Structure 1
Amino acid sequence: MFGTITTLCTRRQTQSRPGTCTSIHVLLCSLLLMLASHGSFVHAQEPSSTVSRSFAIAPQPLSSALLQFSDATQIEVLFDATIARDLQTQGVSGDYAPEEALRMLLQDTGLSYRTTSAGSVTLEQAAGLPIVPAPTVQSPPTEPTPQAVSRPAAQKSVKVPEIVVKDVRERDDDAQTYIAEESTTATRTDTPIRDVPQSIQVITRKVIEEQRTFRLQNTLENVSGINATESAASLYDSLIIRGFSATDRSYFRNGLLDPFAQFTASDTYNIRRLEVLKGPAAVLYGQGDPGGVINIVTNKPLPNAGYSANVTLGNFNFYRSELDATGPLNADKTVLYRLNVAGQKAGSFIDYANRDLAAIAPSITWLMSSRTTLTVEADYLRRWSNDPYGLPAQGTILPNLNGPIPRNRSVTLGDFSTFNRTSYRFGYDLTHQFNDKWSIRNAFRHTIVEDDKNNLYAGGFFLEPDERTFQRFQVLQPAVARRHANSMVTNVVGHIRFLEMDHTLLTGVELRQEKTDQFIFTSGSAPPLDLFAPNYSLSPLPFDGDRVSFQADNKTAAFYVQDQITLLPNLKFMGGLRFDYVHQSTQSTTASHASDNHAVSPRLGLVYQPIEPISLYTSWTKGFQPSSPSSFNPNGNLFKPERSTQYEVGMKTFLFDNRVSATLAWFHLTRENLLTPNPDPALALQGFSVQTGEQRSQGVELDVTAQITPGWNMITGYAYTDAEVTKDNDLSLVAKRLANVPYNKFTLWSTYHFQEGPLQGFGFGGGLFAYSSRNSTIFEGQVDMPGYIRADAALYYNRDLQKGNWLGAKGVNVALNIRNLLDQRYVATSYNGSSQFFFGEPRTVLATVGLRF
C-alpha cells in the first residue's frame, strides 16, 4: 500500500516544491503506523446482558421497537427487513436484563437471535419456521449485508435495510462520528464514497459541535483546498475551492441550488453535515464554478423524542442560545417533527461589526407508508450586521509611518452603517420506492432574500501619502432589495442487471429560476477616516449621484442521465451526461439585455479496488458558466459560455472496520473562455472584451478522518495548490498566482474523550491551521500575505444524569473552545482578491453549557 502512495505522489512533479509528495507520504504513513501499533482498534465495552435496565417500549411494529431497544441499550441489532415486515411486538415495560427484554420483544414473532463475536445481535428465522418473503424497500445493492456491518460501539443502531430507517440511522450517526461512509452529493444516489471516482469530503455534525463553528467558512476550513476571502465578521460566505472562487452557483441545500446562501452567511444551527464535491459538477448540477459545489444537508426529524438546549458565552460580547427538539407526533411514529432555533447577540473583534441573528427551522416528516416519505421544511434567518471592509497594506502587511493599524479598526460609518438581511425558505422532499429496484424523488424549494430599506455601508478607496488618512466611499440602498428563487428536481433511480453487469441508472429533470425583483442603490464619497484616531460621529455625506436600478432573471431547464456499472466485482465505471438550457435577462437604468445558452456536460470515471479497503480512481469531468448577457463582442455577438475541464487521479481508503477514511487526489483543472480586455485600446476603453483568457489550477490533496480508539477522533488535511493565469491579452498577468491561494495548506483537529476511570466524561481537543504565503491580487498593487499557523484548543465535560434529577435532564455538556490560542496577529485574507486586507480573529473564547432531555 505504501508503494502505491509513493507512485501516486511521484506523478505530480514540481521543481519548486520537491518535498510535497514526501510530506504527504510521511503524514499518511505515520497515521497508519500509529494505528497499526495498536494491532487493531480497541472496541468499547458492550453493555452487559445481565444488568437490569428500565424499558418502556409500547406495542408497535417490530422494526420501530427494535430501534428503541438499540437506542436504550447501545446494542447493535442486525436483521433483514424481509423477515420483520408486518410483524408486531407486544412491547416490554419494566426492569429487565437486555437479553430478557429482547426475548419479550420477539415473543410470538417467529424470530430468534444470536450474539456475534463483536457483541452485536443478529435476528434470524426461528428453526422449523418457514420464511415468508414480503415486499421490501431496500437500499441500493451497494448497501452491505448485516454480516459485513461493523460499527463502533459508540455508534450503535438497528440495521434495517429500508430506505426510511436507513436514513434515520445515518442522521443519528452524523452527530456521533467524524467519518461518513456514504454521500449523495457526488452521484445523487446512495453511493459509498469509496465507489465515487471524484474527491468528496464530508464534515459531520460532531465536528461542528466539537469545534463550535457557526459559519460555513470556519467549518469548511477542515477541508483541504478551501480558503476564505472574507472576514469572519462578514455577512457573506466567500470561499475558494481548488484555486477558483465559489460564487452563488456553488452552494446547494439538500441537493437543490441555494443561490442566496453566499449572501446570507449560512449558520450551522440546523446543519447535519456539509458535503464538498471538488471539481466541475455540471453533469449533475449545471452551470457553476469549476472548483466544486458545497451541499448543505440540514437536520431532519428523528423517530425517538429528544430535546437539547445550550447557551454559549464569549468575549467580544458574544451571547448565543440554541434549541433542538425532535420526535414523533403520533403513537405510530409515522409523523415526525424537528425544530431548530438559534438566537445570537454578538459583537466582533472589529469595532461596530456586530453579528446578531435570529433563526428558526421547523420540519415535518410523514412516513406515508413503508415506501413513501414526505418531508416539509422551512427556515427563517435574520441577520443584523454592519459589514466590514478591508484595511490598506500599509499597517497590516507593509510598514506604516504611524505604526501598525489596530486589529479592531473599522472603516465603516460606525453606528450610521447598517446592513441587515433576511432569508425565507420553504420546500418539500417526496420520495417513493416502487419496488426493490426503482425509486423516485421530487423536491422543491422557494427562497426569498430581502435587504432592509435604507441599508448604508462604506468601505475604503485608497490611503493618502500620510499613511493615516483613508479615503472612503459610501453606498445607500434606499429601497428594499428583494430576490427570490424556485428550484425543483425530479430523479428516478433504478437498479438493473444487464449483460451480466449491475447498473445503477439515474435520470433527472431540473427546473430553476432566480429573479432579482428590485435592487436600487446610489453611491458617493464618504468622510475620510483617520485610521489612527478615528471619528465615527461624522455624518454620511449627502448623496448627489444618480440612483441605479437593476433587475435580473435567470431560468434553467435541464435533463441528465447517469449510469454506474459494476464491470467486475472490483471494477466500477461511472458515466453521465447533462443538457442545460439557460435564459438570462437583465434590466438596468440604462439598458436591457437577454441571452440564451445551452451546454452539454459529461463526466467519466473508473474505480478499481485491488483489495476491498482501497479504491484507485480516475475521472474526467467538464463544467460551464454562461457569460453575462451584457457582455458583447465588438460585432455585437454574445460570448460563448465559460468552460472548465478537470482530470483527477486518486486513491481512497476505508481501513480498520471503516474507522479510518482517507482520500489522496491529484488534479489538473483548467478554466477557459475567460473575458479579457480587447487588445485594441480604443475598443477596450469602450468596454469591449475578447474571450481568450485561461487559468489553470493543479495540485495534490489529502484528507483523513479517523476514530483512532473509542473516544479519540481526528480530521486532518493537506493541499498543495498551484493556481495561475496561463493566457491573457495582458502579458504581465501571465504566470501570476491567483489571489488568496496558498501553495500549501495544512489542518489538523483532534479530540479525546475519556471512556472510563475517574476522568470519564472529560475530554480535550485542539488543532493547527497552517497556510503558506498567498498573493493578494493578480493586478497592480499585489502584495504577498505572509503565511501563518493558528492554534485552537478545547476542553469538554459530558455527563449522563440520574433519573429524577431536579433538572429533569438526561445529560449535561460543558465545553470551552479557544480560537487562536496564542493570540497571533496575522492577515487572514485579502478582500475578494484586492489590495485591502482582513486581520484574523484574535484570541476568541467560547464557553458552552448544554442540557439533553
Structure 2
Amino acid sequence: MKSLFVIFIACILSGPLSSFAQAQGKISGRITLVDGQPYGSASVSLLEVNKITLTDDKGNYSFDNIPAGNYTVRIQVLGAAQQDLKVTLTEGQHAKLDYQLTKENVQALQEVIIGGNNTNKFRRKESVYIARLPIKNLENPQVYASIPKELIQEQMATDLGSIAKNVAGAGIPMIANQGRVTFRSRGFDTEPNARNGVAGAAFAMIDPVNLERMEVIKGPSATLFGNSISSSYGGLYNRVTKKPYNGFGGEVGYTGGSWNFNRLTFDINSPINESKTALFRLNGATSFEKSFQDLGFTNSVTLAPSFSYQITDRLSLLLDIEFGQAKGTSVVRFNPFVSTVISSRKSIADMGFPYNKTFLSNDLPYTTQLLNIFAQANYKISESWTSQTIVSRARSSINGYITALAGRTDSTIRPNVITGYTQFIATNIQQNFIGDFKVAGLRNRLVVGLDFYNNYNDFDRVQVSTTAGTVASPDINFLKSYTGRISKFKVDSLASRGGALRKETNRDNTYSIYFSDVINLTDRLNIMLSLRGNRFKYGGVYDVVTGITAGGLGVGGIQAGPYNQNSLSQKLGAVYEIAKDRVSLFGNYMNGFFNKSGQTADGTALKPEHANQLEFGVKADLFDHKLAGTVSYYDIQVENSTYNDPSGNGYQIQDGTQLSKGVEIDLTANPIAGLNIVAGFAYNNSKLTQAAPLLTGRRPGLSGPPRSYNFWVSYRFPEGELKGLGAGFGGNIASWQYHTNTSVTQIIIPSYAMFDATVFYDQPRYRIGLKVDNLTSEKTWSVRLTPQAPARFLGSVALKF
C-alpha cells in the first residue's frame, strides 16, 4: 500500500514539474570548401557545454539535447584561422549554422574526405602530401598524377599494377619474386614505397584494399622526401590510405574470375564514442589465384585497421596499420645470355622462350609478411602554426624460394634459386612545423622539418645454381623423374652441399633537416624555395659467420668500411596563374641523390650520385572542373654515377653521366554528365652520356618504352530508370623497348597494345561489375621478361551498408 502511494504522488507531481523543465534543442550545420564541396573530419566545438564532434563526409555536424541559450561554435581546421561563430538557441528549437572556408584555406593539413561531387569524379588533385603544405595543384610547381578510389573501383583493379595503368609512362609493372612491384617513371625504376607522405617500404606484395588514392609525384623529390627507398630520379609513388570518417558504413565484396581467381574484401567504418570524435575503420582482403601458366599460384590475406581521435579541438591523433601475408611461387624472371664479343640483335618474341611455362614446381613457394605502422599527431599551436609529428615503421620479411632463369648461351638456360630468410625494417620519425603567415605583406606558407630514418636488413640465405639445359626444358637429362622441372628436392640437396651463402646484417641512419617556403609575390605569382641537408651514416655489414663488420660487397667486389656522407638537395619553383584558379604556368629545378660507398683505384672516396631536373609546363582546371590536366617538358641530368674500371682491377670509376628528357601529358575530363575520360601520353629520351665503353651513348636497358599512351573512357547513366548502369573501355599502348642495349648485344621487348573493358551497375545498396583485361590476349613482357597474362575475365558483386 505504501509503494502504491509513492507511485501515486510521483504521478501527480510529474505533470507540474515537467512544465518547469526546459525543452532541449539542437544546433547543427554544414562546413564546406570554397567551391562548395563538403569538408569531412573538421573539428567543431560547442564551448559553453564543452562538447566536441567532427563533421561527417557530407560536411555535417550536430549537437543534440542542448538547453536554450547563447552559444559559441568553434571551428578548428589545421592550417586555417580558428573561427568562433555565435548562435542563439531558443527553447525546443533547431538552430542551423553553416560555414564555408575562405579561398586561402581550400585544403587543410589532415586528410580531407570529400563526397557528394559528381563533376569529373576522377579529378582528385588536391593533396596534403605533395608539398607538405596546404597548396592547390595550380599553385604547385611540381607535376603529379592522382588515381582516386572511384577510378580504382570502376576498373575493378585488384592489384597495384592494374591501378598504375592510369599513369602516363608507368609501363607494364615489373613484378619481383616476392610480389614486389616496380614501375617506370621518366626512364627510371620507381617503387610504391611511400605511404601517407613518408617512407613505407614494402619488399612484399601490397594489397590495394585500403587505398584512398595513388599519388604519383614526377621527377627527383629528395628535397622533401629524402633519398630513402621511397623515391627515385623518376619520381615517387605515394600510397594514400583510407581514413576513418564520422558515420557508420561500409561494404563487403567478392570478385571471381579466370584461373581460379577468388577475392573477398570488406570495409567497415564506425564512430566508437557518443561525441563521434573517436573513429575506427577496418579494411581487409583475401585473394587466391593460379597462374595462367602451367604452374604457379598466389594466396594472400591483408588487414588494415585505422583509428583517429580528436582529443581536443586543437589536438588530433591518427593511427594507421596494414598487415599482409602472402604465399606464392616466383614469377618467371629470365636473364638472357648477353655476349660481349659477338654482335647480335634479337627480340624476346623470336627467341623461342616458352610463354606458358614456368619451369618451376608448386613445392617451391615463398612466404612474405608485411607490417606497416603509421602514427601522426597534429597540434594547432596558433592560428598561423601547426605541429605535425609522424612515426612510421615498416617491416617486410621473405622466407622460402626465389628463382630466376639465367641464359648461358643463346639456346641454354640455368635456373638459379635463393632459399632462406630475409628481413627489411625501416623506421622514419618526422617533426614538422607548418606555418601560414605574412612577412612584409607577402603571404608565406612554410614547412620546417626534422627527419630521422633508420634502415636495417637481415639476410640468412643461400643461392644455388642447377646445371644448364636447353631453353625448351632445362635439366631434362638430370631430372628425368621431375619432367625437367626445378624441384624442392633438388634445391634442398644442392643447398645442403653449399652455395653462395649470405648470412649478414647491415644498417644505416639518415639525419635530415629541411624547409620549404611558398611565397605569394602577388595573388597570381608564387615562388617555392626548398632545401634539405642530409647526413648519411652507413654502419657496414656484419658477417654472422666470421663476426667481422665490413662495408659489404659493392660493384666489382670492392669492400668499404662504415662511412659517412653529407648532401644538400634543393627544390626551386615558380607558378604564375594566367587565369586565376583556372590556368597556371610553372617551372621547377629539383634535385635527387643516392649515397655511394667505396673508393676509386687512387683511393678517392666515392661521392653521392645526384640528379637535377629542369621542368616547365602548364596546368589547367577549366569549365567548373570538367577539364583538368597538365602538359610538361622535363630535362634530368644525372652525375657521379659509377661503373666498373675497364682495367679489370675491381675498382669503380665515378664520372658517369646520364640524360633523361621528355614530354608528359595528363588529362581528365567530364564533357557531359556521366561521361568521364582519363588520358595520358609520355615521351622519354634517355641516354648514358658517359658510362662503361659498351654502354656510352646508348639508351639504358630496362628504362621502359620511349613512347607510351594510356586512356580510359566510361559512361554511367546519371538519371532515369537506367541510373547507375555504365560501361568503360581503355587501353595501354607502347613502343618497343630495350631489355639489354650494349654496343654488342641488343635484346628487344616488342611494342604492345592492350585493351580492357567493363560494364557495371552501381546502386546505393549494391554494385555489380564485369571486366575483361587484355581483350585481345596481346603477348607482351615486362622489363624482366615476365610474360603477361592473356585475356582475363572477372565478375564482382558488393553489398553496401
Pick the TM interval, shorter chain.
0.7 to 0.9
Corresponding residue to 1:415 among 349, 362, 365: 362
Counterpart among 367, 382, 385 of residue 438 in structure 1: 385
> Any conservation in 1 of the 2:81–2:383 contact (CA below 8 Å)?
no
Residues 385, 436 of structure 2: 8 Å contact kept: yes
- Could you tell me how far apart the structure 2 residues matched to 1:537 and 1:580 are? 46
* Superimposed CA distance per residue, residues 756-806 of structure 1 (whole angstroms, 9 cap, x where no aligned partner): 233222110010110011111234532222211111000001223xxxxxx
Note closer, same or farther for the CA distance 1:608–1:755 as it changes in structure 2 (3 Å cut): same
Cα–Cα, structure 1 residues 62 and 632, in superposed 2: closer, same or farther, change >3 Å? same
> Could you say if the C-alpha distance between residues 232 and 447 of structure 1 is closer, same or farther in structure 2, counting changes exceeding 3 Å?
closer
Alpha-carbon distance, 1:718 to partner: 0.4
Residue-pair matches, total: 710
- Deviation per CA, 1:399-431, whole angstroms, max 9, x where unpaired? 35xxx544321033x123111110112231110
- The answer to whether structure 1 residue 723 and structure 2 residue 686 are counterparts is yes
2:526 counterpart of 1:572: yes
Pairing partner for 1:735 from 672, 691, 698: 698
Match of 1:752 among 709, 715, 733: 715
Structure-2 change in CA distance of 1:560 and 1:757 (3 Å): same
User: Which residue among 741, 753, 772 is the counterpart of 2:735?
Assistant: 772
* AA aligned opposite 2:627: V
For 2:610, give the aligned amino acid: R
Distance 1:654 1:232, change over 3 A: farther
Quote the residue 2:316 is aligned against: 373
Q: Does 1:828 align with 2:781?
A: yes
1:645–1:341 CA distance, 2 compared to 1 (3 A): same
Q: 1:168 to 1:597 in 2, by over 3 A?
A: closer
Asked if 1 retains the 8 angstrom alpha-carbon contact of 2:294 and 2:356, the reply is: yes
2-side partners of 1:280 and 1:142: how far apart?
A: 33
Question: Residues 375 and 352 (structure 1 numbering): CA distance in 2 closer, same or farther, change over 3 Å?
Answer: same
Which of 609, 622, 633 aligns to 2:591? It is 622
Structure 2 Cα separation of the partners of residues 448 and 185 of structure 1: 22
Distance 1:166 1:795, change over 3 A: farther
> 2-side partners of 1:237 and 1:103: how far apart?
45
Structure 2 length normalisation: TM-score?
A: 0.82
TM-superposed CA distance for 1:207, in Å, is 1.2
Q: 1:549, 1:103 → 2: CA distance? A: 60
Query: Which one of the candidate residues 341, 348, 364 is aligned to 1:397?
Result: 348
Pair 1:459–1:331, CA change in 2 (3 A): same
Instruction: Give secondary structure in 2 for the equivalent of 1:180.
Output: coil
Q: Does 1:137 align with 2:72?
A: no
TM-superposed deviation, 1:82 = 12
Query: Contact 2:80 / 2:108 at 8 angstroms: preserved in 1?
Result: no
Q: Aligned residue for 2:218?
A: 278
Give 1:850 deviation, angstroms. 0.3
Partner of 2:424 in structure 1?
483
| Matched residue, 1:256 | 198
Q: Report the equivalent of 1:842.
A: 790
Q: Deviations over 1:540-563 (max 9, x none)?
A: 252332522231101111111111
Q: CA deviation at 1:232?
A: 8.9
Kindly provide the amino acid, as one letter, of the partner of residue 272 in structure 1: E
Aligned to 1:15: none
For residues 103 and 428 of structure 1, the distance between their equivalents in structure 2, rounded to whole angstroms, comes to: 28
Q: Distance in 2 between matches of 1:721 and 1:164?
A: 33
Aligned to 2:556: none
Partner of 1:350: 293
Out of 641, 655, 658, the residue aligned to residue 625 of structure 2 is: 658
| Closer, same or farther: CA 137–384 of 1 in aligned 2, 3 Å | same
For 1:164-198, what per-residue CA distance to the aligned partner results, in whole angstroms no more than 9, with x for missing partners? 99956535579992112312232101211111101
CA contact (8 A) 1:227 1:740 kept: no
State whether residues 647 and 667 of structure 1, in contact with CA within 8 Å, keep that contact through their aligned partners in structure 2. Answer: yes
How does 1:447-846 map onto structure 2 within 5 Å? 447-452=394-399, 455-462=400-407, 467=411, 469-477=412-420, 480-525=421-466, 528=469, 531=472, 535-536=484-485, 538=487, 539-541=489-491, 542-543=494-495, 544-587=498-541, 589=543, 591-592=550-551, 593-612=561-580, 613-627=582-596, 629=597, 631-679=598-646, 681=647, 684=648, 686-730=649-693, 732-779=695-742, 781-800=745-764, 811-825=765-779, 827-831=780-784, 837-846=785-794
Secondary structure, aligned partner of 1:444: strand
C-alpha contact 2:688 2:695 (8 A) present in aligned 1: no
Q: 1:422 to 1:526 in 2, by over 3 A?
A: farther
Contact kept? 2:587, 2:615, Cα under 8 Å: yes
Q: Deviations over 1:474-509 (max 9, x none)?
A: 2221xx322222111111111111111111111001
Residue 149 of structure 1 is matched in structure 2 by none
List gaps (5 residues or longer) in structure 2: 1-23, 52-57, 83-97, 338-345, 477-482, 552-560
CA deviation vs aligned residue, 1:734-765 (integer Å, no higher than 9, x gap): 23344342121100012211122332221100
Equivalent position amino acid for 1:552 in 2: N
Task: Identify the match of residue 230 of structure 1 among 174, 184, 192.
Answer: 174
C-alpha displacement of 1:726 = 1.0
2-structure distance, mates of 1:272, 1:78: 16
Given the superposition, is the C-alpha separation of residues 85 and 224 from structure 1 closer, same or farther in structure 2, using an over 3 Å criterion? farther
Aligned positions of 1:286-435 closer than 5 A: 286-287=226-227, 288-391=231-334, 397-399=348-350, 404-412=352-360, 414-435=361-382
Change (3 A) 1:252 1:297: same
Q: Is the 8 A contact 1:180 1:202 kept in 2?
A: yes
Shift of 1:436: 2.3
Kindly tell me: are residues 527 and 437 of structure 1, through their superposed partners in 2, closer, same or farther at Cα, counting changes over 3 Å?
Answer: same
Post-superposition Cα deviations, 1:197-226, rounded to whole Å, max 9, x if no partner, equal 011111111111111223223212211122
Distance 1:107 1:315, change over 3 A: same
Which SS does the other structure have where 2:670 is aligned? strand
* Partners of 1:723 and 1:738 within 8 A in 2: no
Determine which structure has the larger strand proportion and give its number.
2
User: Relative to structure 1, is the Cα distance of residues 409 and 603 closer, same or farther in structure 2, using a 3 angstrom cutoff?
Assistant: same
User: Contact 1:445–1:486 at 8 Å: present in 2 too?
Assistant: yes
3-state DSSP class of the match of 2:122? Answer: coil
SS of the residue aligned with 1:504? strand
- Counterpart CA distance in 2 for 1:106 and 1:165 is 30
Q: In structure 1, what residue type is equivalent to 2:359?
A: V
Deviations 1:329-351 (A, max 9, x none): 01110110000011111112233
Cα distance in structure 2, aligned partners of 1:381 and 1:222: 25
User: AA paired with 1:254?
Assistant: N
Shift of 1:470: 3.2
| Residues 370-379 or 764-773, more deviating | 370-379
Following the alignment from structure 1 to structure 2, what is the Cα–Cα distance between the partners of residues 190 and 654?
18
Q: What is the DSSP-based 3-state SS (H/G/I as helix, E as strand, rest coil) of the residue aligned with 2:151?
A: helix
- RMSD after superposition: 3.5
The AA in structure 2 aligned to 1:615 is: S
Match of 2:157 in 1: 213
Residues 392 and 578 of structure 1, relative CA distance in 2, 3 Å threshold: closer
Alpha-carbon distance in 2 for matches of 1:420, 1:59: 58
Using the alignment, how far apart are the partners of 2:689 and 2:768 within structure 1? 51
* Structure 1, 593-602 or 702-711: larger mean CA deviation: 702-711
The structure with more radius of gyration: 2
Higher helix proportion (structure 1 or 2): 1
**2:370, 2:249 → 1: CA distance?**
27
How many Å separate the matches in 1 of 2:25 and 2:357?
64
